[in-house]
Structure 1
Amino acid sequence: MSTIDAHHPVAFRPQIAVLTLFGSAMVAFGVFLSGFVMSEPAPYELLMVLQVAVWFLLGLKISRAVAPLLALLLTFNVGGILSLTVMKDLGTGPMYLAVSTFLALTSVFYAAIIEHRHQRLRLIFQAWVAAAIITGLLGILGYFHAFPGAEAFTLYDRAKGAFQDPNVFGPFLIAPALYLMHGLLTGKLSSAPLRVAGLLIIALGVFLSFSRAAWALFLFSAVALVFILLLKERTGAFRLKILLLSLAAVVLLVVAVVIALQFEQVRNLFLDRTTLVKEYDGGHLGRFARHRIGFLMMMENPLGIGPMVFSQIFPEDEHNIWLKSLTSYGWLGFVSYVAMMVWTLTIGFRFLLRDRPWQPYLMIAWIVIIGHVIIGNVIDTDHWRHFYLLLGIVWGCGALEWRHQRALRRSPLPA
């Protein structure tokens, strides 16, 4: 958890090693807790506030490769602070921006600890998978009322697991699903049964969330993962293996969905949710009408209108991350958010196919972030904890590549 000075006596190295292992375990535990947010502040916030402070006090540094992320996120939140100045009643605005600033710091924290030690990526994803399987099981059991009080894990007859909203629960499960899929497609067949079992639980959780955004995100991410693996791997045998396993996975998922549709409750809600444009989407002051009116309104409000104010003017929230950045963070926040997303996607694209130990984790996080950018047109991803984790992963891997290239430049040329 602290930087190691090469001039320290050897006697201190075991203590540093213990601190490093303990710190890595706490990072994994924090990621695990991100899957259990039924009230705020959640245990995740309490642990991460303490952990971020301790890590930086003990010497965790922000490198030049991670500094732009910090600058963009701080600028984004400065825009939010400026939006408070136009609010007649501050209400919950300051607390909303406090949460935004905290999440921004967690993103920078994840990037810094990943750059410090890339082996933490595996711990992060393993903890994420464990959280996804447990919260996914809670959502499934809750949906079918498997035990007394199980309805606590549902909302509006939709599975939400240990989350407050099915629309956050579903997307939270996508990155762990891709991690299991990647292991299934590239790993040993001996571990396939466990990965298949975990993937089925997570996929059923996504399905029972009845979140159209989560369904689209899952489909897009799975197809993109297979496509990139086929692009990356050159051998015909490996490509055949990926195609066959992908086909088998699709068949299993289809069978699982068909079995779930045998329940009348599931079938009725599925038919309702598969309607592309519902009344609250295309009706008077529906989602799309609010988007159009909101963007026109923001052209006359460079400082925004303040957090949570949009829902006081219209029947519901923005349900659009771009409009949300304008209303709650003003033009300054919007520009910094767009710049951050473009920069993040550029990092992933540049380093996506390079043969590095951290390449699979970068690939998964980059794919899921692209998916979040797409669904951000119909949903608000502003305070999604796992989204800031994904940002940290991509920027951390970018920082690792920066360090790797710098080390190559400094190394002596071969004779």
Structure 2
Amino acid sequence: MIRQFVSGSKKWMTWFAIAAMLASGFLAVFSQWIIAVIEQSGYPAWFSLAFLTGCILLVGVGFTAYEVLVWLCFSLIGFVRIEPAPFDYLLLVVMAIGWARGKLELFNVRQNVLVLSGLWIFILANLVSMVGVAAQPASWRFMLITFYLLVLFLFVRLYGHDEKAIHILLAGYLVSATVNAVLVILGLLGLGFASSMVGWSIRGVGFFKDPNVFGAYMASAAMIAMDRIVHSKGRWYRIVGYGVLTFLLGFTAVYSLSRAVWVSLVLSIGVYAWMLAKEAPRSAVIVLSVLLALAITAVFFLQSSQMAAFVSAHMRLQDYDMARFGNQYQGLIAGLTQPLGVGPAGWPNAHSLYVKTLAEHGLLGLVSLGMVIVGSIWPLIRRVAVMDGSRRALSAQVLLAILIGQLVNSVVIDSIHWRHLWVLLGIAWAFSDGPVTKQGEENG
């Protein structure tokens, strides 16, 4: 027995030594590459050392407190001025450590066949659409980004197998949104260091490159905070705290001055209130009160001298609106006449998720994307239908309302590369775990 133990220990130490040597070699090569890149960018030498030290510390955190690393990663999801963003790099570390530590739980394939089939067919449609097309570097880059976001979608599904995991994801999501909101407000007030948070002097953009994406992200975060008010269980300090946060996030979403965001936000709140009215009328009143307060503030703000001209002009169709609609019409024709599509990034400025998918990947691409979306939100629809109350990290009602708003927004905006949309779809897909029970049944 002792000999077996010693022999087993020697084998374990041998494999550990080999792994350590390989990891050290990789780290040495990676370090040299990073240092060269940083020095070429003009940063001082100490920055290289600080960066490498931070990477090592992050890996240590991942192996000792994985949930903290996940929270930190998703706290960076709203900081995407640079591509690839810090979130993207850290997510790769999170996924690798998650697999190593067994934090990603496999699911029943039979219960998820629609989404999985849609994923594989969508990947196939992307690859097939490259056939016969003079693929440019932009096409390969666009396709690889799409595949990366599908991996993000799958990671959220694998990690979000329980309520605690979804709490962690959403906590980071709200932290990122709150920081963006605060800095946009400071930029609105004229503080110099936050001026870059306001694009074109009047539109909130935060740490995003496009006000339309910023507004959609903030609108979804506002809805998540609103759901926390509804399910605060009467605790006044939670109601006040999340009430202020909801108003702050909702206001900055409006301040993006995106008409699509305005429509999607009002639609999401209205759908959420309608669903709540069936089971909790008092909660529906709270939601509608928040909507009314936000609408009054928004109207007052948008009538200010700085905004009045912009809002008045954008209440009418602009020349670029007609150009967008014309491009969408041509995209529909291209998608229907070219069965394989024109290839990734082959139809720029489509300003529609659905038109762009049809034009670039043909009917196969559009149908498979529809399978992924429908398969993801179907568990929410089932839970809402029976007024399920068994999961409170995020209610099925608010998540369904958010996704309805985001998907309507996508009619006029190309959202295929929105990180937050794939995260929300991944959380929705995770609702397929566990039985669907009517409210009150769990208590007998």
Question: Normalising TM by the smaller chain, what interval?
Answer: 0.7 to 0.9
Name which of structure 1's ranges 84-93 and 199-208 shifts more when overlaid on structure 2: 84-93
**What amino acid is aligned across from residue 226 of structure 1 in structure 2?**
A
1:191 aligns with 2:228: no
Q: 1:69 to 1:28 in 2, by over 3 A?
A: farther
Contact 1:348 1:363 in 2 (8 A): yes
Q: Secondary structure at the match of 2:391?
A: coil
1:48 aligns with 2:91: yes
Matches within 5 A, 1:124-163: 124-148=169-193, 150-155=195-200, 157-163=202-208
Shift of 1:293: 1.7
Contact 2:187 2:197 in 1 (8 A): yes
**What amino acid is aligned across from residue 157 of structure 2 in structure 1?**
A
Aligned match of 2:320: 280
Shift of 1:50: 2.0
Q: Secondary structure at the match of 1:252?
A: helix
Q: 2: CA distance between counterparts of 1:381 and 1:70?
A: 20
Shift of 1:209: 0.4
Aligned match of 1:326: 358
Matches within 5 A, 1:162-173: 162-173=207-218
Aligned match of 1:76: 122
Aligned match of 1:37: 80
Contact 1:348 1:366 in 2 (8 A): yes
1:398 aligns with 2:432: yes
**What amino acid is aligned across from residue 78 of structure 2 in structure 1?**
G
**Structure 1 unmatched runs, 5+:** 1-17, 234-238, 312-316, 409-413
- Normalised by the size of structure 1, how large is the TM-score? 0.82
1:104 aligns with 2:138: no
Aligned match of 1:9: none
CA deviations 1:278-306 (Å, max 9, x no partner) are 22223xxx122222221112222111112
Q: 2: CA distance between counterparts of 1:247 and 1:74?
A: 41
- Normalised by the size of structure 2, how large is the TM-score? 0.77
Aligned match of 2:418: 384
Q: 1: CA distance between counterparts of 2:100 and 2:114?
A: 21
CA deviations 1:361-388 (Å, max 9, x no partner) are 3332222112222222111110000010
**Structure 2 unmatched runs, 5+:** 1-60
Contact 1:86 1:306 in 2 (8 A): no
Q: Secondary structure at the match of 1:107?
A: helix
Matches within 5 A, 1:3-14: none
1:309 aligns with 2:356: no
Q: 2: CA distance between counterparts of 1:23 and 1:68?
A: 31
Contact 2:354 2:411 in 1 (8 A): yes
Q: 1:261 to 1:321 in 2, by over 3 A?
A: closer
Aligned match of 1:62: 106
1:22 aligns with 2:22: no
Q: Secondary structure at the match of 1:354?
A: coil
Matches within 5 A, 1:247-266: 247-261=288-302, 263-266=304-307
Contact 2:218 2:249 in 1 (8 A): yes
Shift of 1:79: 1.2
Contact 1:167 1:211 in 2 (8 A): yes
Shift of 1:162: 0.6
Q: 1:57 to 1:96 in 2, by over 3 A?
A: farther
1:349 aligns with 2:389: no
Contact 2:276 2:397 in 1 (8 A): no
Name which of structure 1's ranges 368-377 and 260-269 shifts more when overlaid on structure 2: 260-269
Aligned match of 2:250: 203
Shift of 1:154: 1.7
Equivalences, count: 373
Aligned match of 2:371: 339
Structure ID, larger Rg: 2
Q: 1:21 to 1:73 in 2, by over 3 A?
A: farther
Structure with bigger RCO (C-alpha 8 Å, 6+ apart): 1
Shift of 1:328: 2.7
Shift of 1:400: 3.3
Q: Secondary structure at the match of 2:434?
A: helix
Q: 1: CA distance between counterparts of 2:250 and 2:424?
A: 20
**What amino acid is aligned across from residue 224 of structure 2 in structure 1?**
Y
Q: 1:250 to 1:376 in 2, by over 3 A?
A: closer
Q: Secondary structure at the match of 2:342?
A: coil
Aligned match of 1:15: none
Q: 1: CA distance between counterparts of 2:121 and 2:184?
A: 37
Shift of 1:109: 1.0
**What amino acid is aligned across from residue 434 of structure 2 in structure 1?**
L
1:364 aligns with 2:378: no
Shift of 1:199: 1.6
| Among 294, 302, 308, the residue aligned to 1:267 | 308
Percentage of matched positions with identical amino acids: 22
